[in-house]
Amino acid sequence: MLMTTERLMRLRADARLERDTILEHRVRDGEDPATAYAEVPEIDEFVVLTLRDEMLEDRGQLAEFGLARLAARSGAVDAAEHRRNADRVEFELLREIAANVPQLTVAVWRVGNRLELPEARE
């Protein structure tokens, strides 16, 4: 993954717009601004998620990943297995993003913090 300063700036500008839009929507709907600001991801976290999705798309895995995430939220008996598999795939992608775009390392680990990995618990 080649990341130029210009591309990172564009991704951050897009992420800022997305974050601001989400925040405005939540606050206009009556949510406490402090809660909204605490819960909405930071700009670089949006960038990391965008890069993750681009990598999945480039590898032809975006639909499969999305379906695994949906299956993980279901009440099916194999939901936990789908979640573990999707978390493992996402973790590897996040590691790759952190290695290739060091400016996003903190955001990568914030995004990765919600993943459940057996290796992380041992």
Per-residue pLDDT tens digits of the chain, which is 122 residues long:
778 899 999 999 999 999 999 999 999 999 999 999 999 999 999 999 999 999 999 999 999 999 999 999 998 899 999 999 999 999 999 999 999 999 999 999 999 999 987 764 44
Q: What is the DSSP string of 59-77?
A: TT-HHHHHHHHHHHTS-ST
- 97/1 Cα distance (integer angstroms): 8
Whether the CB-CB separation of 116 and 83 falls below 8 Å is answered with yes
Quick one: how many helices (H) and strands (E) in the chain?
A: 7, 0
Q: pTM of the entire structure?
A: 0.88
Q: Helix 62-72 and helix 43-58: axis angle, to 10°?
A: 120
